Structure 1
Amino acid sequence: MAASREEKRLSMWLCFSGFLDLFGVSMIIPLLSRHAKDMGATPTLMGALASVYGGIQLFSSPLIGSWGDVWGKRPMLLLCLLLTTISYTLLGLAPTLALAIPVRILAGIFKHSQTLSKAYLADIVPKAEHSEVFGRFSAFSSMGFIVGPVVGGHLMVTEGGFLLVCLVGSAVFFINLCIVWYVLPHVNPEKKNDNHRKNPAASFDVLAFFSSLKKALFSDMWDLFLVKFLLTFSVLLYRTNLGLVLEQRFDITPKEVGYLISYSGIVGTVSGFGAGKVAEFYRNDTTVMIHFTVLLVAAILGMTFTPYIWLYIVCQTAMSFCNANLRVASTNITIERGRNKETGVLMGLNQSVISMGRIGAPLLGGLVQEVHLTGAGVVGAGFALLAGGIMVVIPPEGSDSQTVGKEKKEL
């Protein structure tokens, strides 16, 4: 069935919420390393902090998603936005690293608004329109990453510096909280969770939760999450210390590096808006995953070895285009193979895969760059190539053309 006018209205509000979410984050995070260094952190400590944040999200994301399936996505989204607002306010006020570290841990536990928003979208939007809607959500979110660093950079040089950046970022999250509160209705969790709502204690059965988590990861879903991890890891690995690498290779300034990063965000935004058209053209998510993985490998190798800045920009465009479409296709396959059940857990597991990449990529990337400047790109392309090989041997088996065609007739 086609989405109703109300469902389309809610999906657009969630897209705007996704924009605000990454707008607030991208104001603060690019400046966090500089602020930590000003407080006395060494590069090793900064890398360790980033790994700890990723490790916390690895376990908290599926747990928050599971609670969303039990209690509803809207209440959990409100809770996460509230505690994220508080955590970034406290981060700006923290005078020492000893106080900043627990605040980052709090953010790592509850910064899952993107995960919950995608799960909410999966609940209200017909399956046939998932590619278009998730692509639009990704595009709006990417726009936040384009604007946020620019605003944060301008605020950083004013009086108040990092504190002002954190306060403005927290205000953005609070506005997002108000929008979710006033606009989004509560969507009742599925009937299979009725007994959990009647008995709240059952909702916090930790052993049952990790049992279902293990079942998802190591049974019929293991290959999909492995592919997702390898693709995510390959991109994060290539981006390790990317600014410094570009400055050395092309003799450009940090300001010009910023333009290149913003351009990548613009391409990702445009690609997100067109993801629905790409899915409609291929009519098979598995084919999308394989084809764009091959293109991703070529793009990473091109960016790694080209001596020309113009060719680098061409390859960067291809990589951003691939990332946007791979995210949408993998999300579609995840939801379908989960049989549209417990979408909060599935989206949480997706986020956990990304968190696993955030744990290891900075450490491995720095290590191989000690050997050679192009090391991160070569190893990253190798991980992406391995993901492609796994998909050829074990196809992800997303929505095929018959399923899509059958749903199109119902529209």
Structure 2
Amino acid sequence: MSAKTEKVHFTVYVVFISLLLDLLAFTMILPLLPTLMDHYRKNDSIGLYDWLSSQIRSFQIIVGAPEKYNSVLLGGCLGSMYSFLQFIAAPIVGGISDVIGRKKVMIGCLVGISLSYICWALSSNLLIFIFARFLGGISKGNVSLSMAIITDVSSIKTRGKGMAFVGMAFSLGFIVGPLIGAAFAVWAKQRSGEWFVIPALFALLLSVADLIFFMVFFQESLPKEKRDSNLNVTLKNSKALINVTDLFQFTAVTGVDSNRLEELQNLGVVYFVYLFIYSGLEFTLTFLTHHVFNYNSMQQGWMFFIIGLVMAVIQGGYVRRISQEKTKSTAITGLWLIIPSFIFVGIASGPILLYIGLLFFAVSTAMVVPSVMTLASEHGNEQQKGTVMGIFRSLGALARALGPIFASIAFWSVGSTTTYLTGSVFLLWPVLRLSGKI
């Protein structure tokens, strides 16, 4: 069958819908975070918010940072905790699914995510909310599993198209989810008491719908004859799946020749550095628009809508159509585009430059992440695709755990302009590395 007529497997569409439902629930909390932090500041019965704020104020006095950015640092800590838990969970989930199959492990992840939204609905104080985020973080192996499933059912020629569907799910999630969250944020200002119960239950509804949909429509993508045979060995290798040094060395990936392993390691470090810096802008963007441009929750929702729309158009209209031979060049182009994004956002004093920067930001995201995931999926034997994709997802989660907290500290200490312009300089490294120039 020719490359032009070879179709995407039905399972890819199932994964796409499942991811979309999950991401709608996940992204709707983004515009709600400032309002939630304000709620717990006023209503945290056990005093945890006040204690955390006092620790931040002590550091604030040392570095001489403005007090109005304290919520940026606190939000950065919560965001980093969530991603750090994904960093721990993703490779273990991928490795276990290589042994017992994808469906059972995915169902376990979706159940955990649903339970996290139940805890959110019950979070009468900040401690319960943090526990809800903890539970959601350790259950968030479903994204790396989705990529492993697409690798299972796709040929080399259609794998890039399959990964583009993952990117499209993220794009659409960021189009609709934040708008839903922004609407809830506007509604919350007219309510008193535990207003967050309604958006939490809405997220739970989406999550349960995702769970039922997946259980009904997904057929196991990893047949028994292609699975790893020993669960005990997989669990014993958990050190290599969590230890940072082993993770960057891809120690858990065996049976790969030295040249291919070196390519995989190089791709992994490029992906990590890109996401480390990228996630800093991504996370601090809501605080930038709130503190510098005085955006309200609805304006932020529309901002995410535009970003997601651009990403969806690029991924749906271009990225999923590129040939296997152009995957690497597409990733390199996307890596170049993120640099002017940081510059424009950093120097923006009005909406025109801000949105020019966000346009570059959206296009870069649409090109880099699916392309790198496609390149990664070409490595490893059939029994270890889940492990490879789990490690990449874990590297991404580690970057997203560290990036927001470093960016938040920089934003808090020296301001947005210096933070983003410095980031643009450091972003030269991954593009030059992937291009083979350093």
Q: TM-score, normalised by structure 1?
A: 0.85
1:212-241 deviation per Cα after TM superposition (whole angstroms, max 9, x unaligned): 746416962322111101111221222343
Q: Is the 8 A contact 2:178 2:304 kept in 1?
A: no
Aligned to 1:391: 434
Residues of 2 paired with 1:251 and 1:31: CA distance?
16
1:179 partnered with 2:219: no
Aligned to 1:352: 394
Aligned to 1:381: 424
SS for the counterpart of 1:167 is helix
Aligned to 1:16: 17
Q: For the aligned residues, what is the CA RMSD?
A: 2.9
| CA drift at 1:23 | 0.5
Letter in 1 for 2:83: G
Alpha carbons of structure 1 residues 32 and 71: separation in structure 2 relative to 1, 3 Å: farther
Identify which range, 345-354 or 210-219, moves more after superposition: 210-219
Residues of 1 paired with 2:20 and 2:432: CA distance?
34
Aligned to 2:311: 268
1:310 counterpart (340, 352, 358):
352
1:363-407 deviation per Cα after TM superposition (whole angstroms, max 9, x unaligned): 222333222331221122123211112123379xxxxxxxxxxxx
Aligned to 1:243: 286
Letter in 2 for 1:332: T
Alpha carbons of structure 1 residues 124 and 383: separation in structure 2 relative to 1, 3 Å: same
Matches within 5 A, 1:4-83: 8-40=9-41, 41=49, 42=53, 43=71, 44-83=73-112
Letter in 2 for 1:18: L
| CA drift at 1:82 | 0.9
1:299 partnered with 2:341: yes
Q: Is the 8 A contact 1:70 1:189 kept in 2?
A: no
| CA drift at 1:165 | 0.9
Letter in 2 for 1:71: I
Alpha carbons of structure 1 residues 168 and 257: separation in structure 2 relative to 1, 3 Å: closer
Identify which range, 267-276 or 45-54, moves more after superposition: 45-54
Q: Is the 8 A contact 1:69 1:190 kept in 2?
A: no
1:320-362 deviation per Cα after TM superposition (whole angstroms, max 9, x unaligned): 1111111111011111133555222222222222222222222
Residues of 2 paired with 1:98 and 1:344: CA distance?
34
Identify which range, 321-330 or 205-214, moves more after superposition: 205-214
1:135 counterpart (161, 164, 167):
164
Alpha carbons of structure 1 residues 124 and 394: separation in structure 2 relative to 1, 3 Å: farther
| CA drift at 1:297 | 1.0
Residues of 2 paired with 1:228 and 1:104: CA distance?
25
Aligned to 1:332: 374
Identify which range, 25-34 or 103-112, moves more after superposition: 25-34
SS for the counterpart of 2:219 is coil
SS for the counterpart of 2:220 is coil
| CA drift at 1:184 | 0.7
Letter in 1 for 2:211: L
Residues of 1 paired with 2:96 and 2:276: CA distance?
27
Q: TM-score, normalised by structure 2?
A: 0.80
1:216 partnered with 2:250: yes
Residues of 2 paired with 1:208 and 1:300: CA distance?
36
Identity of aligned residues (%): 21
Residues of 1 paired with 2:290 and 2:33: CA distance?
21
Unaligned runs of 5+ in 1: 396-411
Aligned to 2:274: 231
Residues of 1 paired with 2:274 and 2:429: CA distance?
9
Q: Is the 8 A contact 1:223 1:394 kept in 2?
A: no
